[in-house]
Amino acid sequence: MEKKLGILGGGQLGRMMITPCIDLGVEVYFLDPNPECSVSEFTAHLTVGDFNDYETVLNFGRTVDVITVEIEHVNVEALEKLEKEGKAVNPSSQVLRTIQDKGLQKEFYQNQNIPSPDFRLIKHKASITDFPIVQKMRKGGYDGQGVQILKSATDFDKAFDAPSVLEDLVDLRMEIGVMVARNAQGEVQAFPPVSMDFDPELNLVKYVVCPAQISEELNKKCIQMANSIAHKFELVGIMAVELFVTKSGEVLVNECAPRVHNSGHLTIEGTSISQFEMHIRSVMGFPLPPVSVTKPSVMLNLLGEMGYEGEAELWSETDVLALPEVYLHWYGKKTTRPGRKMAHVTVLRNTVEEAKSIADEIDIDLKVIA
Note the pLDDT of residue 356: 98
Burial of 246 (0-12, 13-18, 19+ CB in 10 A): middle
Query: How would you class 118 by CB atoms within 10 Å of its CB: exposed for 0-12, middle for 13-18, buried for 19 or more?
Result: exposed
Q: What is the pLDDT of residue 199?
A: 85
pLDDT of residue 201: 78
Q: Residue 131 in 3-state DSSP?
A: coil
At residue 330, φ and ψ (nearest 5 deg) are -85, 135
Calculate helix-pair angle for 76-84, 54-61, nearest 10 degrees. 40
Low-confidence ranges of the chain (pLDDT < 50): none
Q: From the CA atom positions of the chain, what is the Rg in Å?
A: 20
Among candidates 128, 135, 72, which has minimal Cα distance to 103? 135
Predicted model pTM: 0.96
Q: Does domain 118-167 have CATH number 3.30.1490.20?
A: yes
In sequence order, which residues have a C-beta less than 8 Å from that of residue 224 and are 6 or more positions away?
Answer: none
**CA 120 vs CA 95, 106, 110, 113, 167: distances in Å:** 21, 9, 11, 16, 7
Given this chain, do its domains 118-167 and 172-369 carry the same CATH topology? no
Residue 118 CA: distances (Å) to CA of 121, 152, 167: 11, 19, 6
Give burial (CB, 10 Å; 0-12/13-18/19+) of 193.
Answer: buried
Q: How many residues does the structure list for the chain?
A: 370
d(CA 130, CA 128): 6
pLDDT at 202: 79
Q: What pLDDT was estimated at residue 143?
A: 66
Which pLDDT belongs to residue 259? 98
d(C-alpha 263, C-alpha 199), whole Å: 14
Could you report the per-residue pLDDT of 249-284, keeping only the tens digit for each?
Answer: 999 999 999 999 999 999 999 999 999 999 999 999
Contact call for residues 239 and 229 (beta carbons, < 8 A): yes
Q: Where are the domains of the chain?
A: 4-89, 118-167, 172-369
Q: Which CATH architecture has domain 4-89?
A: 3-Layer(aba) Sandwich (3.40)
The CATH fold assigned to 172-369 is D-amino Acid Aminotransferase; Chain A, domain 1 (3.30.470)
117-159 pLDDT per residue, tens: 999 999 999 899 889 999 999 998 766 688 999 999 999 999 9
